[in-house]
Amino acid sequence: MGTDITVLAVDWGRLERTPTGERERLLYQAAEPADDTGRGAEPEVGWMFPASAKTPWCGRYEFRDTLGSYKPHFWAANGWDTVRESADPGLREALDAFLLGLIWWGADADDEEDRPDAGLFPSDPEAWRPRLHLVCPPVVVPTLAARWARAEPLLGGLERTYDAHASRPGRWIADFGEFAGLLRQWAVVVDESARRGWGLLGLPV
């Protein structure tokens, strides 16, 4: 779990009109724009539109208190795995559907291998890491927003159970507050993308 994640909101039509061989380069420019603030500068938390001057059809989201690492997202999903059976059934149904599209691979998932790239990039049979952590075409994003709208009012009821069974003091996603905070940032990601009618991609950078 040493990889990072950079989440992009993407105008899918523009992406699909971009030649396949150029997409990965442009998306990585959006994820790591050398022309914005310069290497080594601390990124601003939240959305940046456009992600870079070369990709006006992308926005980039920087998560608070994650240092760009994928680990907080992994451990949030792990925490949900730990407590979901004890959650209110309405919350479990809604949060299952919300997280399954973003950072959680389902109750029966064995590993994280072979995540699809939806045919966005040329095939790479020798890839040593995932090409994408996340692929959510625009048609999927409003459904995620609706699932969060159902889950959010019920989320507070999970606090006692989460802190009793899934807290990890001193580590990533230490308690319910950090779990809920990360999920609320994902809700910001989803809601803004849904508002624009854009899709979401998560690059391992």
From the list 132, 145, 126, 129, the residue with the least C-alpha distance to 194 is 145
The mean-pLDDT minimum among 117-121, 155-159, 163-167, 181-185 falls in 117-121
Whole-model pTM: value is 0.89
**Selection from 88, 51, 78, 45 nearest residue 63 by Cα:** 45
What pLDDT is stored for residue 156 in this prediction? 97
> At residue 128, does pLDDT exceed 90?
no
Q: What is the pLDDT of residue 2?
A: 62
pLDDT given at position 155 = 98
Amino acid at 70: Y
pLDDT at site 55: 93
Of 61, 51, 62, 58, the closest CA to residue 10 belongs to 58
Query: How far is residue 61's CA from residue 58's CA, in Å, rounded to a whole number?
Result: 10
Percent pLDDT > 70 in the chain is 84
